[in-house]
Chains A and B, each alone.
Chain A
Amino acid sequence: MGQVVLKGINKFYDSVHAVRDVNLQIRDKEFVVLVGPSGCGKTTTLRMIAGLEAISSGDISIDGNVINELAPMDRDIAMVFQNYALYPHMSVYDNMAFGLKMRKFGRPEIEKRVREAADILGIGELLMRKPRQLSGGQRQRVALGRAIVRHPRVFLFDEPLSNLDAKLRVQMRVELKKLHLRLGTTAIYVTHDQVEAMTLGDRVVVMKDGVVQQVGEPLELYNQPANKFVAGFIGSPAMNFAAVTVTEANGSLIAENSGLRIKLPDETAQRLRGHIGHEVTLGVRPEDLTVAGTADLDHPCFDAVIEVVEQLGSEILLDMKVGEGVMVACVEPTARVKVRDKLRVAMRSSRLHVFDAKTEAAI
């Protein structure tokens, strides 16, 4: 079992309020990712769960028992660090066996568990080597092995893939996912990389300035972001935002600014009735913008000038000037476009997001 509950967690460093009233329920066997920009309190939260950082106020419990005052060693957790934290003076085998030795396991049991973990991770041949003789990926595996030999209730990962090169990171990401499916141990994973968060997490917790912005399944965050920050943080390339004013004309609502004039679809209009005459922020994902063709007549369209064309092979990213602002569109690779082209862009208005201009909350 490994059910983790955070109730009203706060952390102060002198006058800095690093983590603000975090409430979180992590189910057994769940893979939860904490994601956010650096300094958002995600690592501090993880370290409080590990017991490496004191909790200023609130309760953390595992399987119903409050663990606020327990030493890290008594919490039955394992942690993988960004810099691997392998013991440099010990062989791979001893690194993995250290936790078991400390817990007074018998030699045959230690041997069995280390072999087992080494087989799972494919590092059976490296057991006698020292950490400095290993590559980055191998070190990461040893660090994982050291965590899994202990059969803990919860795994904690602190940006474990950040020190790997891009290709290896993708590969290890898949392996982590497989490992979790195989072991089924509850995992809490901290990263600043939204792609890692989306691909690994059963649920994702987006944090900013110590405050949880939204908790949800990856697609939920993508499709229904709770506020402008989550909308801009999740998804790559990032969502386009435009400040617009809502006006009424002929019974339908129009959103407009210097370069944009869009008739809002009925469903969105319903929600914006109360904002007529006010400014709101319009959000549209690059993939919901297309080069307007004949089929797009019923979609709202606007004019844009292409400033940069980024060929990615599978798609083209267009950096466009729209009125005073800029927008990025992600279009089909077959689109014939070049820099300084004037373009008519269609917007899939059913997937439009609207945010309050002041509170930034989704409307």
Chain B
Amino acid sequence: MIEGARWRKWAFFYLPMALFLLFLLFPFYWMVITSVRPDGELYRPWNSINYNPFWTWKPTWDHVRYLFEETLFASWLWNTTFIALASTAISLVCGVFAGYALSRLNFPFAGSLGTGIFITYLVPQTLLFIPLAEIIRNYRLGDTPWSLILTYPTFLIPFCTWLMMGYFKAVPKELEECARIDGASRWQAMLYIVIPVAIPGILSAGIFAFTLSWNEFIYALVFLSSPEQKTVPVGVTSELIRGDVFFWGPLMAGALLGSIPVAIAYSFFVEHYVAGLTGSVKG
């Protein structure tokens, strides 16, 4: 904290903090206000007398109602949830085991393998979707949730593995050695000692993976075509922007409802999550 006179604290801490918050939260505010404004206000020209983009006196649920009644938003929400949960689960299981192996088992090339896995994460999805589309087509997975559940791990597993590797390295080796002397096999030592200790790390990897797959756009755009199979990010943008017409109200309502689950996931696990990132295991 900044020491000294009160004005210094205001000038160097509270004021920059407030500006920063304003900057970060404004998009959310814009989303909320747009999704409850009646169309009459939304499409009013900027130079009209009662133009007021930052506030409304006549909030309405029309856009949300439109979203659920006139579009397939409910199925998009369900699709996104299912796909995000399934791909997160697959990636976590693989990431935990791979991370453990790479950080704890001394096998040849463990180090370079770890780096290799990280490098695959750096291959941009905008390139990777082309060969993946070919594979998806060959296995006839196009337009099914499986096309995403099986392709998301291509970037989620490297990510989880890398995160878990760092976390397992922070768990003292002696814990495991002691368990093995106490009568546990390597497998049991991992199951009963290392993984429970690494729960905060696993949770943070899970939240990150969930968020990444929830927000993923390009694979979902390419691999899914029928409206009822789409995820929220793709559904909202493809069904609510027709030609050059933007349905701003439902669009923003969809974006808002789509970001709520992620916000909940973050705030619910935030304690574990922060602990996971800072590594809180001490002998």
Whether B181 and A87, one on each chain, are in contact in the complex, defined by CB atoms closer than 8 angstroms, is no
Whether A85 and B172, one on each chain, are in contact in the complex, defined by CB atoms closer than 8 angstroms, is yes
- The 8 A CB mask of A78-99 against B (1 = contact, 0 = none) is 1101111111110000000011
Give the dominant DSSP class at B's interface: helix
Whether A102 and B182, one on each chain, are in contact in the complex, defined by CB atoms closer than 8 angstroms, is yes
CA distance A72 to B189 in the complex (A): 12
Whether A73 and B183, one on each chain, are in contact in the complex, defined by CB atoms closer than 8 angstroms, is yes
Q: Number of residues in B with C-beta < 8 Å to the partner?
A: 21
The reply to whether the CB of B113 lies closer than 8 angstroms to some CB of chain A is no
The reply to whether the CB of B197 lies closer than 8 angstroms to some CB of chain A is yes
Contacts of B281 in A (CB 8 A): 88
CA distance A102 to B282 in the complex (A): 24
Closest CB of chain A to B90's CB: distance in Å?
A: 26
Closest CB of chain A to B78's CB: distance in Å?
A: 35
Contacts of A89 in B (CB 8 A): 196-197, 199
Give the dominant DSSP class at A's interface: loop
Whether B283 and A73, one on each chain, are in contact in the complex, defined by CB atoms closer than 8 angstroms, is no
CA distance A79 to B180 in the complex (A): 10
Whether A85 and B183, one on each chain, are in contact in the complex, defined by CB atoms closer than 8 angstroms, is no
Whether A73 and B182, one on each chain, are in contact in the complex, defined by CB atoms closer than 8 angstroms, is yes
The reply to whether the CB of B3 lies closer than 8 angstroms to some CB of chain A is no
Once A73-B181, A103-B183, A150-B182 are accepted as A-B contacts, the answer to whether A83 and B283 lie under 8 Å apart by CB is yes
Q: Which one of A86, A98, A103, A146 contacts B283 once the chains associate, using CB atoms below 8 Å? A: A86
Closest CB of chain A to B193's CB: distance in Å?
A: 6
The reply to whether the CB of B185 lies closer than 8 angstroms to some CB of chain A is yes
Contacting residues of chain A (47-61) with chain B, CB-CB under 8 angstroms: 50-52
Contacts of B182 in A (CB 8 A): 73, 78, 98-99, 102, 146, 150
- The 8 A CB mask of B155-186 against A (1 = contact, 0 = none) is 00000000000000000101101111111110
CA distance A71 to B192 in the complex (A): 18
- The 8 A CB mask of B29-70 against A (1 = contact, 0 = none) is 000000000000000000000000000000000000000000
The reply to whether the CB of A77 lies closer than 8 angstroms to some CB of chain B is yes
CA distance A91 to B281 in the complex (A): 15
Contacts of A99 in B (CB 8 A): 182-183
Contacts of A84 in B (CB 8 A): 283
Q: Which one of B172, B175, B188, B283 contacts A102 once the chains associate, using CB atoms below 8 Å? A: B188
Contacting residues of chain A (35-78) with chain B, CB-CB under 8 angstroms: 50-52, 71-73, 75, 77-78
CA distance A271 to B28 in the complex (A): 92
Whether B179 and A83, one on each chain, are in contact in the complex, defined by CB atoms closer than 8 angstroms, is no
Closest CB of chain B to A153's CB: distance in Å?
A: 12
- Nearest to B177 among chain A residues (CB) is A52
Closest CB of chain B to A69's CB: distance in Å?
A: 15
From A75, A78, A82, A87, residue with most partner B Cβ within 10 Å: A87
Q: Which residues of A contact B (CB under 8 A)?
A: 50-52, 71-73, 75, 77-79, 81-89, 98-99, 102-103, 132, 146, 150
In the complex, 14 of the A-B residue pairs with CB atoms within 8 angstroms, ordered by the A residue number, are A72-B180, A73-B180, A73-B183, A75-B181, A78-B182, A79-B177, A84-B283, A85-B178, A88-B197, A88-B282, A88-B283, A89-B196, A98-B182, A99-B183
Q: Which 10 A-B pairs have the closest CB atoms?
A: A99-B182, A102-B183, A83-B283, A85-B174, A85-B178, A81-B174, A72-B181, A72-B180, A73-B183, A103-B183
